Homo-oligomer: A and B are copies of this chain.
């Protein structure tokens, strides 16, 4: 057997890396900070992509593709935007290599220097809004609802597979609207789409809220977010949707003539989720035995293992069962490698988080039953072969639901209301780290003071935070509603 996974209780961060590597999701590459997404990990990401893409299309969006490179001068046009990204840009300066005349191998050709440096896109607002200037003339061209699936690069110093990498995969929606109201509506619509995706497909409960000024996207008027709570009590920003006002329209001079034939600047949104979601998926559900994948996203939902090993009668039965399951849309595979023992296969399939395992043995078959093991609870049961397909289809739904309910219960247990800074510290440093719901006076001073003292940040002001009188934990100034604090990834 391969070496065990580090238990979560011992070292959460090592546990995470062990899962990513041992379940064959991703690995570090030879290029600093860039990851290789391995086939099994990519299979999960593909299902996420497909589902999100369907949801974007249902809400009226179309896909397009914009250049990888952004001229340096474009990035500089929106002042806050360039401040936010300048420190982490991969810069292309030359367009040719040559043989070193001094025999030093292949070197950059100094005569092939670009007139203007190109930035590998860290996000595409600038190149897209420069393009929208040509696409938008009249109110009849609006709204423009475009999404792009792409790779982006942000030169991070401290990287962690999926959660923070120099290159990552994502989608970025960029929409243009005639009015501020419509743009805000779109921003919220996409926050809803993200929340629905996270909860119904990833089985990951999220809080919908909006960011404080300090935590906003560079160039946004408002940033809406979905925040999830990981098993170690740290929050994960899982997706953001930005109302950009007219900032990029002004920076790139994008105007439209309205119904009264007057020129106005266009209103914008942008929104994105990335391969970071893979990190959220892992840290919401998995355990010390390995990954747990919710059935809706699992590349393989059911694995059949012959016991003690493949032979003709079992193979035939497995094929019959697979056909019946496939006909119901279940993704099923048969692990008929005769070089490995069942126990080894059980562990391997647990490690990969396959939701349901079927142990197919002759003795059981003679009794008309089959062993069904579920990954989420590790329960095993002997189930009659008659009606087995219905049983499994229902079980997959049950597992999907159970994973969500379990994560929701966890989050509720780890969300604490506090009313003094002392309590705040006790909770965050103690054995119950998680979301802290507390009053805040709306000032940057109080926000940054708490961050300095505890490393916790305001994750969001929940969209539905009820009005309630209270006082700021630091300043004692009045507050109208509670916000959510946590340490975060």
Contacts and interface: CB of A to CB of B under 8 A. Distances in A.
A39 interface: yes
A234 B35 CA distance: 41
A130 interface: yes
Q: How many copies does the complex hold?
A: 2
Contacts of A46: 63
A66 interface: yes
20 contacts: A27-B134, A29-B67, A34-B69, A38-B64, A42-B64, A46-B63, A65-B169, A72-B97, A72-B106, A72-B108, A88-B96, A90-B92, A91-B92, A91-B93, A91-B96, A91-B97, A91-B108, A108-B117, A120-B120, A150-B151
Contacts of A38: 64
Contact of A42 (B65, B91, B153): B65
A307 interface: no
A474 interface: no
A36 B124 CA distance: 12
A30 B38 CA distance: 34
A155 to B, nearest CB: 4
A90 B119 CA distance: 11
Interface string A6-40: 00000000000000000000010111001111110
Interface stretch (A74-82, A239-247, A317-325, A355-363): A74-82
Given A34-B67, A66-B29, A118 B90 contact: yes
A457 to B, nearest CB: 24
A94 B95 contact: no
A435 B112 CA distance: 38
Contact of A39 (B42, B63, B98, B119): B63
Contacts of A42: 62-65
A280 to B, nearest CB: 18
B118 A67 contact: no
